[in-house]
Amino acid sequence: MGVTVLTEIEFKVNGLKIQALEWNGGGLPVLALHGWLDNAASFLPLAKYLTNHHLVVLDLPGHGLSDHLPGSAYYHLADNIYLIKSVADAMGWQRFVLLGHSMGSAIAILVAAAMPDRIMAVTLLDGIGPIAYTPVQEVTALRQLLSHAVEEKVGRPFDTLQAAARIRQKYSHFAISQQAAELLVERNLKECDGGLCWRYDERLKLRSSHYYSEEQVRGILSHVECPSLLLSADQGALAGWSGFAQRRAAIPRLIHEVMTGGHHFHIDAPQDVANCLIDFYQTLDWER
């Protein structure tokens, strides 16, 4: 059995502090990437079962305990490629596995296509590439981006963590359990006058200045050369989506399994997800 001590670690990338959680079981190196407005705590339940792996989970910029981008900068998925390369270099990982949930799975796909010599495998949780826009939607997004001023919103403080979790449940794009909501908001809150306020960067809620077309996304997917596993939820983000089959077919070496649950099934049913991941990881050709 591996060592499962949880450690807070910190990286410096382009002047930003990037916070992370680390469990070092001495085995397969796995870098995990959370979803939009989530944070590294998203993988706490799953990590308890990956005891023989060396797991590092990032708070992506603007999320959790990591720094926000400076000035008037905006958040772009592709910027995370350099971030992840820098973290892997700092860890001394020449080859490693990516584990991504939702937005994190989109980032994992971009990294795998850009760094085929470094990525041993990709494991995706209820996500399969970036959101795609049509040309008209892209222009609309650009115009809307410029019409929204970036403000540091403090908002009305929450009296308790549970109250913040209920708001997260109310405004989530996908149904989320009270258990999952409380786990996620704890790392996304900070003390402020009158109670607790959100810690994440408000700019994360703005539209990006760039979206890929569906053709571009499938082209990127087709260049993911490593073994890949997708676990989708039967009540999650991909369920019933008309474009899912074509994206799934675009990845050359993809294994797909459907699991019971919603979008955050890795929090609600971590052992089931971990069993699938461990079975897949055991097929990889990896040397220490």
Predicted confidence (pLDDT) per residue in 66-117, tens digit? 999 998 788 999 999 999 999 999 999 999 999 999 999 999 999 999 999 9
Annotated active-site residue in 42, 66, 102, 232: 102
> What was the pLDDT predicted at 151?
52
Amino acid at 159: D
Known active-site residue 102: yes
What is the distance between the alpha carbons of residues 1 and 48, in angstroms, rounded to a whole number? Answer: 12
The mean of the pLDDT values for the chain is 93
What is the distance between the alpha carbons of residues 239 and 165, in angstroms, rounded to a whole number? Answer: 25
Whole-prediction pTM: 0.94
Q: What is the pLDDT of residues 211-264, one digit of tens each?
A: 999 999 999 999 999 999 999 999 999 999 999 999 999 999 999 999 999 999
- The tokens describing 100, both together, are 């991504």
Looking at domain 6-132+211-281, its CATH superfamily turns out to be Alpha/Beta hydrolase fold, catalytic domain (3.40.50.1820)
